[in-house]
C-alpha cells in the first residue's frame, strides 16, 4: 500500500474520531506522525484541532502555526489558534486572532461564537477567577521529620547516652489529603489590578493522627503593570495546625518586580518579610526576611520543555534575645522543569538546597547548629480529560546537621487527582 494511501487513511480516521468527539484518540493517532508529516496542511490542521480538544494547547499552537505560515488567510486555523491562546492564558494574542477572523467573510454562526469568546476575554480582563480541588493518598516515611536514632549523646551531661522517647523518633504512616484554592484577579485600570487568593490543605494519618496537619493560606496584593514590567506589593497570611490545634501563625509582606522578556522568558526579584508566631511556644517566635531572584523559560522545542530556577538569602531573627540558638542565617537555591510528552502525559522534577547557620550554641549539645537540607522530587502527570489531571509524585528530603538530633531523612509518595476550574 502506498504512503499516500496510508496518509489518506490516517487523516480520514482522524476526521472520523473528531466527528465522534473522540479528540484524545485522534490526537494520539496523529501525534506519532508529526515529525514525518509536519508541513502537510491537512495533517497539521487536524492535529491542531485534536490537540486543542484534548487539552494539549501548546502542541495545538505549534501545529496551527505551521498551517498559518503557509495559509495566512485560513480563518479556520486562525480561530483554532486563538482558542489555544485563550486556553493558555495568552488573552492578548487570542483577542488579536479572534478580531482578525471576525473581520473576514465568515458565517453568522461563526461570528456569534467569536463574539462570545471576545466577551469572555473582556470579562477576564476585568475579573478573572480560577481555582482547584485536589484529592490524594500516599505514604510518608517520616511524618514528624525526626531522627531515626534511638539514642544520642548529651555533651552538657558529660556525654551520657540518652534513649529518646519513641514519640520523638522517626515514624511513618500512610495518609489521605485534600486541598483546594481560589485565585481572583480584578483589573482596576490598564495599569492596576488587585490579586487575591485563598487555599486550604488537610493531611490526615490513620495511625499517627497526632501529626494530622491543616494549612490555611490567604494573600492580597496590588499589581502595577506597564509594558513588560510588573510590580506586586501585598500581604500574606498562614495558619498551620497540628492535630487540629494552632501550631504556627504567619503574617507578612511581599514585594516583587517581574520582567517578561517575551512570552516565554521571565525574570523576577522578590523580598519577603514574615512574622512567625507560635501560640503555645512563644519562645520560638521569630521574624523572617528573605531576598531572592528567579528566572523561568519555556522552549518551543520538542516536548515543550519549561525550566525555572531561583536563589535567595535571608535571616530568621529570634524574638527571645536570650536564645540566639533559635535564630539563623540562611541561603538556598531551587531548580526545576517539566516536559509535555504528548498524549496527555507530562513529567516534572525539581531540586532544592538550603543551608542554615544558627546564632548560638545549643545549651544541651554545647555546639552551634548548622543544617544542610536537600529536597528532590519527580512526578508524572496525565491529563485524564479537560481540567482533570492525575499526578504521581515522589519527594525526598534529607537534612544533614552537625547535631544528630536534627538530622533526618523523609520520603513522601503521593498519587492525587486535581480538578481545575
Per-residue pLDDT tens digits for 120-152: 777 666 788 889 999 999 999 999 999 988 888
What is the assigned CATH class of domain 127-420? mainly beta
Q: For domain 3-126, is the CATH number 1.25.40.10?
A: yes
Distance CA 269, CA 25 (A): 43
Instruction: Count how many Cα atoms sit within 13 Å of the Cα of residue 399 in the half-sphere of its side chain.
Output: 17
Residue 124: predicted pLDDT: 65
Record the pTM: 0.73
> What residue ranges of the chain are covered by domains with CATH 2.40.160.60?
127-420
Say what the pLDDT of residue 125 is: 64
- So what's the pLDDT on residue 3? 42
The pLDDT assigned to 5 comes to: 46
Positions of the chain with pLDDT under 50: 1-6
CATH 1.25.40.10 placement within the chain: 3-126
In this structure, which long-range contacts are made by residues 247-251, counting pairs with CB atoms below 8 Å and at least 24 apart in sequence?
247/278, 247/279, 247/280, 248/276, 248/277, 248/278, 249/276, 249/277, 249/278, 249/279, 250/274, 250/275, 250/276, 250/277, 251/275
Q: How would you label 135-147 residue by residue, b for 16+ Cβ within 10 Å and e otherwise?
A: ebebebbbbbebb
Amino acid at each position: 500500500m502506498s504512503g499516500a494511501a496510508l496518509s489518506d487513511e490516517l487523516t480520514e480516521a482522524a476526521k472520523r474520531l473528531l466527528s465522534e468527539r473522540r479528540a484524545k484518540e485522534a490526537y494520539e493517532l496523529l501525534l506519532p506522525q508529526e515529525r514525518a508529516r509536519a508541513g502537510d496542511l491537512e495533517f497539521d490542521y487536524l492535529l491542531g484541532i485534536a490537540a486543542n480538544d484534548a487539552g494539549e494547547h501548546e502542541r495545538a499552537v505549534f501545529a496551527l502555526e505551521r498551517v498559518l505560515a503557509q495559509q495566512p488567510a485560513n480563518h479556520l486555523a486562525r480561530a483554532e489558534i486563538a482558542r489555544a491562546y485563550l486556553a493558555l492564558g495568552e488573552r492578548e494574542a487570542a483577542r488579536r486572532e479572534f478580531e482578525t477572523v471576525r473581520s473576514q467573510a465568515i458565517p453568522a454562526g461563526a461570528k456569534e461564537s467569536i463574539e462570545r469568546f471576545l466577551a469572555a476575554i473582556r470579562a477576564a480582563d476585568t475579573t478573572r477567577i480560577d481555582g482547584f480541588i485536589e484529592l490524594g493518598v500516599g505514604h510518608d516515611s517520616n511524618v514528624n521529620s525526626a531522627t531515626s536514632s534511638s539514642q544520642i549523646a548529651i555533651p552538657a551531661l558529660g556525654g551520657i547516652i540518652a534513649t529518646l522517647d519513641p514519640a520523638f523518633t522517626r515514624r511513618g504512616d500512610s495518609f489521605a489529603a485534600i486541598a483546594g484554592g481560589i485565585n481572583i484577579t480584578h483589573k482596576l485600570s490598564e495599569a492596576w489590578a488587585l490579586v487575591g487568593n485563598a487555599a486550604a490543605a488537610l493531611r490526615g494519618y490513620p495511625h499517627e493522627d497526632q501529626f494530622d496537619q491543616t494549612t490555611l493560606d490567604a494573600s492580597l496584593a496590588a499589581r502595577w503593570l506597564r509594558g513588560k514590567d510588573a510590580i506586586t506589593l501585598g500581604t500574606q497570611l498562614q495558619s498551620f495546625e497540628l492535630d487540629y490545634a494552632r501550631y504556627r501563625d504567619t503574617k507578612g509582606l511581599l514585594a516583587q518586580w517581574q520582567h517578561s522578556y517575551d512570552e516565554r522568558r521571565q525574570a523576577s526579584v522578590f523580598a519577603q518579610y514574615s512574622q512567625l508566631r507560635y501560640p503555645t511556644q512563644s519562645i520560638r517566635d521569630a521574624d523572617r526576611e528573605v531576598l531572592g531572584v528567579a528566572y523561568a523559560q519555556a522552549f518551543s522545542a520538542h516536548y515543550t520543555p519549561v525550566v525555572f530556577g531561583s536563589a535567595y538569602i535571608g535571616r530568621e531573627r529570634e524574638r527571645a534575645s536570650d536564645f540566639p540558638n533559635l535564630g539563623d542565617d540562611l541561603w538556598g537555591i531551587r531548580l526545576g522543569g517539566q516536559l509535555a510528552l504528548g498524549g496527555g502525559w507530562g513529567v516534572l522534577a525539581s531540586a532544592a538546597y538550603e543551608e542554615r547557620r544558627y546564632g548560638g550554641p545549643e545549651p544541651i549539645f554545647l555546639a552551634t547548629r548548622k543544617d544542610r537540607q536537600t529536597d528532590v522530587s519527580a512526578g508524572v502527570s496525565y491529563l485524564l480529560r479537560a481540567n482533570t489531571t492525575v499526578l504521581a509524585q515522589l519527594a525526598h528530603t534529607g537534612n544533614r546537621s552537625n547535631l544528630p538530633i536534627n538530622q533526618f531523612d523523609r520520603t513522601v509518595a503521593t498519587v492525587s487527582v486535581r480538578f481545575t476550574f
